[in-house]
Amino acid sequence: MDIDRVVVFDTTLRDGEQSPGASLGIEEKLQIARQLARLNVDVIEAGFPVSSPAQFEAVRLIAQQVRGPVIAGLARAVKLDIDRCWEAVRYAPRPRIHTFIATSDIHLKYKLRMSRQEVLDRAVEAVKLARGYTEDVEFSAEDAGRTDPGYLCQVVEAVIDAGATTVNIPDTVGYMIPEEFAALIRKLYQSVPNIDQVTLSVHCHNDLGLATANSLAGVKAGARQVECTINGLGERAGNASLEEVVMAINTRQDFMGVSTSVETTEIYRTSQMVSKLTGLEVQANKAIVGANAFAHEAGIHQDGVLKEKSTYEIMTPQSIGLERSRLVLGRHSGRHGFKARLEEMGYRLSDEMLEKTYQRFLLLADKKKEVFDEDLVAIDRLVKLPINLREYSIRAVTSGAEAMGEVTVKIDDDGAIVIGRAASTDIIEASAKAYINVINKLVARRKAAGGAGKSK
Ligand SMILES: [Zn+2]
Calculate how far, in angstroms, residue 201's C-alpha sits from the geometric centre of ligand 1.
Answer: 13
Calculate how far, in angstroms, residue 203's C-alpha sits from the geometric centre of ligand 1.
Answer: 7
Indicate the SS3 state at residue 388: coil
The predicted structure's pLDDT at residue 41: 98
The predicted structure's pLDDT at residue 373: 55
Amino acid of residue 445:
R
Calculate how far, in angstroms, residue 234's C-alpha sits from the geometric centre of ligand 1.
Answer: 7
Calculate how far, in angstroms, residue 235's C-alpha sits from the geometric centre of ligand 1.
Answer: 7
Calculate how far, in angstroms, residue 58's C-alpha sits from the geometric centre of ligand 1.
Answer: 19
The continuous run of DSSP H or E covering 106 comes out as helix 105-107
Calculate how far, in angstroms, residue 228's C-alpha sits from the geometric centre of ligand 1.
Answer: 9
Distance (Å, rounded) from C-alpha 358 to C-alpha 365? 10
Calculate how far, in angstroms, residue 172's C-alpha sits from the geometric centre of ligand 1.
Answer: 5
For domain 4-278, the question of CATH label 3.30.420.240 is answered with: no
pTM for the full predicted model:
0.76
Residues whose CB falls within 8 Å of the CB of residue 183, separated by 6 or more in sequence, listed in order: 221
Map out the domains of the chain as residue ranges.
4-278, 387-456
Calculate how far, in angstroms, residue 141's C-alpha sits from the geometric centre of ligand 1.
Answer: 11
Calculate how far, in angstroms, residue 154's C-alpha sits from the geometric centre of ligand 1.
Answer: 22
Q: Helix %, strand %, coil % for the chain, to 5?
A: 50, 20, 30
Distance (Å, rounded) from C-alpha 73 to C-alpha 93? 14
Calculate how far, in angstroms, residue 74's C-alpha sits from the geometric centre of ligand 1.
Answer: 11
Calculate how far, in angstroms, residue 91's C-alpha sits from the geometric centre of ligand 1.
Answer: 25
Calculate how far, in angstroms, residue 326's C-alpha sits from the geometric centre of ligand 1.
Answer: 34
Which of the four CATH numbers 3.40.50.620, 3.30.160.270, 3.40.50.720, 1.10.10.10 does domain 387-456 have? 3.30.160.270
Calculate how far, in angstroms, residue 338's C-alpha sits from the geometric centre of ligand 1.
Answer: 45
Distance (Å, rounded) from C-alpha 129 to C-alpha 83? 9
Residue 388 has a CB neighbour count (10 Å cut-off) of 10
Calculate how far, in angstroms, residue 304's C-alpha sits from the geometric centre of ligand 1.
Answer: 41
| CA 276 and chain centroid, separation | 12
The predicted structure's pLDDT at residue 126: 98
Closest CA to 104 of 75, 153, 78, 141: 141
Calculate how far, in angstroms, residue 14's C-alpha sits from the geometric centre of ligand 1.
Answer: 9
342-351: which pairs have CB atoms within 8 A and are 24 or more residues apart?
A: 342/376, 345/373, 345/376, 345/377, 347/376
Calculate how far, in angstroms, residue 359's C-alpha sits from the geometric centre of ligand 1.
Answer: 52
Distance (Å, rounded) from C-alpha 138 to C-alpha 266? 27
* Residue spans of alpha helices (H) in 252-393: 253-256, 267-278, 299-307, 335-344, 351-368, 373-384
Calculate how far, in angstroms, residue 130's C-alpha sits from the geometric centre of ligand 1.
Answer: 21
Calculate how far, in angstroms, residue 175's C-alpha sits from the geometric centre of ligand 1.
Answer: 12
Calculate how far, in angstroms, residue 176's C-alpha sits from the geometric centre of ligand 1.
Answer: 14
- Tens digits of pLDDT across the chain (456 residues): 568 999 999 999 999 998 887 778 999 999 999 999 999 999 999 999 999 999 999 999 999 999 999 999 999 999 999 999 999 999 999 999 999 999 999 999 999 999 999 999 999 999 999 999 999 999 999 999 999 999 999 999 999 999 999 999 999 999 999 999 999 999 999 999 999 999 999 999 999 999 999 999 999 999 999 999 999 999 999 999 999 999 999 999 999 999 999 999 999 999 999 998 888 889 989 999 998 888 776 777 777 777 788 888 899 989 999 876 665 666 666 777 777 776 765 566 778 777 777 777 676 666 555 555 555 557 545 545 666 777 777 665 554 444 566 777 787 777 788 888 877 766 666 777 777 777 777 777 777 776 443 333
Calculate how far, in angstroms, residue 422's C-alpha sits from the geometric centre of ligand 1.
Answer: 42
The predicted structure's pLDDT at residue 240: 98
The predicted structure's pLDDT at residue 291: 85
Calculate how far, in angstroms, residue 2's C-alpha sits from the geometric centre of ligand 1.
Answer: 31
Calculate how far, in angstroms, residue 146's C-alpha sits from the geometric centre of ligand 1.
Answer: 14
50-59: which pairs have CB atoms within 8 A and are 24 or more residues apart?
A: 50/75, 50/76, 50/80, 50/81, 50/84, 50/85, 54/26, 56/84, 56/87, 56/88, 57/26, 58/13, 58/24, 58/26, 58/29, 58/30, 59/85, 59/88, 59/89
